[in-house]
Structure 1
Amino acid sequence: MLWVDKYRPKTLDQITVHQDVAQNLKKLVNEQDCPHLLFYGPSGSGKKTLVMALIRQMFGPSADKVKVENKTWKVDAGTRTIDIELTTLSSANHVELTPSDAGFQDRYIVQEIIKEMAKNRPIDSKGKRGHKVLVLNDVDKLSREAQHSLRRTMEKYSSYCRLILCCNSSSRVTEAIRSRCLNVRINGPTEEQIFKVLEYIGKKEGLQLPSGFASRIAEKSNRSLRRAILSFETCRVQQYPFVSNQAIPPMDWEEYITEIASEIMKEQSPKRLFQVRGKLYELLVNCIPPEIILKRLLYELLKKLDAELKHEVCHWAAYYEHRMRLGQKAIFHIEAFVAKFMSIYKTFLISTFG
């Protein structure tokens, strides 16, 4: 088992990084007055850990008896019936799913499937009908139509269904949904908090940590606890005993994007654009989010650019990121950004060096 799962806190009392949030959630459960919740914050900050600990606090050990199902749902879409394949993680009391995985069909999931799940109330040991909890991931990636449908579901089934929504940015969630939830901001952990967690894991694993080693991992983690723990385990696999100047390897996908940026800078041509497209496809099929690819590619290109070009390149990156959110095929928009960058950079080289 990976350390990131092995040392994941199981209960609200075990959570140390967001202790104040965990205790407030515990009070809500004890008072039996838990509203719809919206957890938002950067990736790797601990949203999912808090949600699962909260569900265990609500339902006890039964929340751990989960099953993964990959079902195909038949949904009426006007004059035709469409098949939507969806993966859910469920226990007797809760269901977890990611509606945005269905792309532009996400509104059908919200209108039909989530509505159907909300109707089915679980029966507790005393024969009473309890609350059903639906955990929806990446709510900020839902289309506007899906978010409007979700609002209606929240209102109609609020008496016996609780929604726990998770997202990275609450600004992309409609005001109508935000106003119907208790908004819980989960900040990225500080470097000091990450350092303490790494020290704890090192102690539990019986590892000797050189002075400053855990601090360097925490510094390179970009305030993502998940990333820090994965990097720590990678270092353990690559070399142990640790040495004080041991290199902390970057993520494979980051190195790959650095290579792509170097290739773009070396040559600006249709042939090179075709080669870059293939590499971008490879990143996408390995489940690297398109927004992350575009952001990282921009970061790597900016490091190699003259100051006078940076503003224009940032403008076009923002333009294509916005287009990507409105469209369906991310590869088109990332490739369009690369083509635009090549055009700008080649024009700059010709005007500078003739």
Structure 2
Amino acid sequence: MHSGTGLWVDKHRPNQLSKLDYHKTQASHLKHLVQQGDFPHLLVYGPPGAGKKTRISCILRELYGAGVERLRMETQTFTTPSNKKIDLMTLSSNYHMEVNPSDVGIYDRVVVMDLIKKLAETHQFTSSQRDFKVVVLTEVDHLTREAQHALRRTMEKYVSTCRLILCANSTSSVIPAIRSRCLGVRVPAPTTEEIISILQTVCKKEGQPIPTELASRIAEHSQRNLRRALLLAEACKVQRAPLTDEHQIPSLPWQVYLEGTAKMIVEEQTPKQLMEVRTRLYELIIHGIPAQIIFKGLVDELVKSCDMQLKMRVVEAAAMYEHRMHQGSKTIFHLEGFVAKFMSIYKTFMEEMLGNF
């Protein structure tokens, strides 16, 4: 375990496959995979906070040893076909590089091709027993189709000097040509019991024992997202130590903001209010809250104000707009479309209700 200060979630992150707290059978399979000479491209997928990145870090450590943890942040500059310069942050060691190409939006294809080409061509290996470097690409399910096709070609071209570890929440937006070239590693969310047990272990190490009832409430509240559970436990400790069953679990600021946004939608259904709501949705997106999370949060809050008949229509509309959001590229359009649709359904329903009195 790492010592020193820092957030609990980073400080207590296991760094070896043998030290992982759950999915232990999978960990031993991964260890075996690394020890076999030929290491395949991997597609690691599962819900947020399930431990994908932790497992990827452990795999890298298993491949290259502790040197892989000496990381440096670098800004790489890419030139688009129209000669536009774009910058992207990468995290790299002497053995690997990690990058989120979807950060540059529609230019992700350029990044994917250039980055892997650069890494494959600077072929100096420093006392490593492996004859390949690893590129970790995160959020591959957010890459455009063009970038994914470019990625497939690049994978084949540089397979002798590069291995890819792709990370995604879901494989449904990853093209079959990439899925078929990778070994799929599914990382399911930990169970509520596993989260409770990890919370108890971490809190004990921090000298802040956590009562089972509080650990259980945090695990429920985190919806099986381990990262969120650890952040919430630490937030409870910051609020007040020692930890007791009476602790209120704090809502994260963006959750409060999202609840307020849902309230505004229910209070008034006008074009003016829709513009206000749109601004608030932009605000959430700018602060890095994933569109899926905003969508789910909105739907959860809005259905609280609906009776059964209305709930069905709202969930139906949500499903349609969420599906469109996955197909399209501008998430705000689909979020806003859903809000407008809800306003229309809700207003009509309220008018009918009043008309019946």
Instruction: Tell me the TM-score normalized by structure 1.
Output: 0.94
Structure 2 CA distance, aligned partners of 1:181 and 1:276?
41
Structure 1 residue 286, shift from structure 2 partner: 1.0
Structure 1 CA distance, aligned partners of 2:287 and 2:88?
19
1:31 aligned residue: 36
1:118-162 superposed Cα distances (whole Å, 9 cap, x missing partner)? 333232328x88211000001111111111111111111112210
1:115 aligned residue: 117
- 1:322-341 aligned at under 5 Å gives the runs 322-341=323-342
Letter aligned with residue 161 of structure 1: C
1:68-106 superposed Cα distances (whole Å, 9 cap, x missing partner)? 11222113x2xx323222110011110000111111221
Letter aligned with residue 66 of structure 1: L
Which deviates more from structure 2 when the two are superposed, residues 128-137 or residues 258-267? 128-137
Structure 1 residue 278, shift from structure 2 partner: 2.1
Structure 1 CA distance, aligned partners of 2:331 and 2:266?
22
Structure 1 CA distance, aligned partners of 2:59 and 2:130?
20
1:290-319 superposed Cα distances (whole Å, 9 cap, x missing partner)? 221112101111121121122322232233
1:189-244 superposed Cα distances (whole Å, 9 cap, x missing partner)? 01111111111112111123334221221122111111110000000000112222
Structure 2: gaps (5+ residues): 1-5
Structure 1 residue 253, shift from structure 2 partner: 1.5
Residue 166 of structure 2 is aligned to residue 161 of structure 1: no
Report the 3-state secondary structure (helix = DSSP H, G, I; strand = E; otherwise coil) of the residue aligned with 2:172. helix
2:291 aligned residue: 290
CA contact (8 A) 1:122 1:129 kept: no
1:260-291 superposed Cα distances (whole Å, 9 cap, x missing partner)? 11111111112221221221122112111122
Which of 57, 65, 78 pairs up with 1:52? 57
1:175 aligned residue: 176
Which deviates more from structure 2 when the two are superposed, residues 344-353 or residues 326-335? 326-335
Report the 3-state secondary structure (helix = DSSP H, G, I; strand = E; otherwise coil) of the residue aligned with 1:39. strand
Residue 220 of structure 2 is aligned to residue 215 of structure 1: no
CA contact (8 A) 2:101 2:108 kept: yes
Which deviates more from structure 2 when the two are superposed, residues 110-119 or residues 254-263? 110-119
Structure 1 CA distance, aligned partners of 2:67 and 2:211?
42
1:11 aligned residue: 16
Structure 1 residue 251, shift from structure 2 partner: 2.2
CA contact (8 A) 2:112 2:151 kept: yes
Structure 1 residue 341, shift from structure 2 partner: 1.0
- 1:98-113 aligned at under 5 Å gives the runs 98-113=100-115
- 1:1-354 aligned at under 5 Å gives the runs 1-75=6-80, 77=81, 80-125=82-127, 130-354=131-355
Structure 1 CA distance, aligned partners of 2:247 and 2:319?
37
Letter aligned with residue 20 of structure 1: T
Identity %: 50
CA gap 1:203/1:218 in 2 versus in 1, 3 angstroms: same
Structure 2 CA distance, aligned partners of 1:295 and 1:151?
32
Letter aligned with residue 169 of structure 2: N
Which deviates more from structure 2 when the two are superposed, residues 61-70 or residues 229-238? 61-70
Letter aligned with residue 167 of structure 2: C
Letter aligned with residue 45 of structure 2: Y
Letter aligned with residue 144 of structure 1: R
Structure 2 CA distance, aligned partners of 1:179 and 1:293?
31
Structure 2 CA distance, aligned partners of 1:240 and 1:111?
50
CA RMSD of aligned residues (A): 1.7
Which deviates more from structure 2 when the two are superposed, residues 1-10 or residues 293-302? 293-302
CA gap 1:35/1:129 in 2 versus in 1, 3 angstroms: closer
Structure 1 CA distance, aligned partners of 2:332 and 2:212?
44
Structure 2 CA distance, aligned partners of 1:315 and 1:295?
13
CA contact (8 A) 2:61 2:69 kept: yes
Structure 2 CA distance, aligned partners of 1:216 and 1:209?
11
Letter aligned with residue 31 of structure 1: Q
Structure 1 residue 110, shift from structure 2 partner: 2.0
Structure 2 CA distance, aligned partners of 1:22 and 1:277?
44
